[in-house]
Amino acid sequence: MKGLRLYVASGVLAALTFLCAAYLSIPYAGGGYFNFGDIVILLTAGLLGPYAGAFVGAVGGALADLSLGMAVFSPFSLVAKGGLGFLAGLFARMIKKKELGFLLGGFLGGSLEVLVYFLSYLVIYETISVSSLFDCLQAYGSLVVSYPILLLLRRALPKEWFEQKG
């Protein structure tokens, strides 16, 4: 997929990420929340590549924080979720075995997400937070859930939708 179709798909998927993060969320102790937005980010990265993954993650994640009254986390989400999408998509493109690349990139992107949120707790609350443990569950759990879905989508969708040159 390229050109206008890629831009439209990225916009729709960013909106879906926002909806899944803002409205399909489960609050947890420490002020954060589990959500399904990371699954959409990872699927976007695995199907459409690093730039679409980064855009969908950054926009969807930051808008969700703004809408949930957690605006102070919005810049951190921009980096954390954008990085998650970029790394998952980048490694899926770089490594010949796309599935291995997706898993490696998703793990590294999830690790970046956990690190960014850990730093955000230090900056905002001036202390470490138990929320970092929940962030690990969010990041790595989303990777576990998104992987089989990605495999199914790769079989079901036309190859021109997600295979790009270069």
CATH number reported for the structural domain that contains residue 38 in this entry: 1.10.1760.20
Within a domain: 106: yes
Predicted local confidence at residue 30, as pLDDT: 67
What residue numbers bound the domain in which 142 lies? 3-25+34-158
Within a domain: 165: no
* pLDDT tens-digit readout, 67-118: 988 899 999 999 999 999 999 999 999 998 888 999 999 999 999 999 999 9
Within a domain: 163: no
pTM recorded for the entire structure: 0.93
Averaged pLDDT score across all residues of the chain: 91
* pLDDT tens-digit readout, 27-50: 877 667 789 999 999 999 999 999
Within a domain: 166: no
Q: What does 41-88 look like in DSSP terms, one character per residue?
A: HHHHHHHH-HHHHHHHHHHHHHHHHHHTT-GGGHHHHHHHHHHHHHHH
Contact 5, 54 (CB under 8 A): no
| Total domains present in the chain | 1
Within a domain: 77: yes
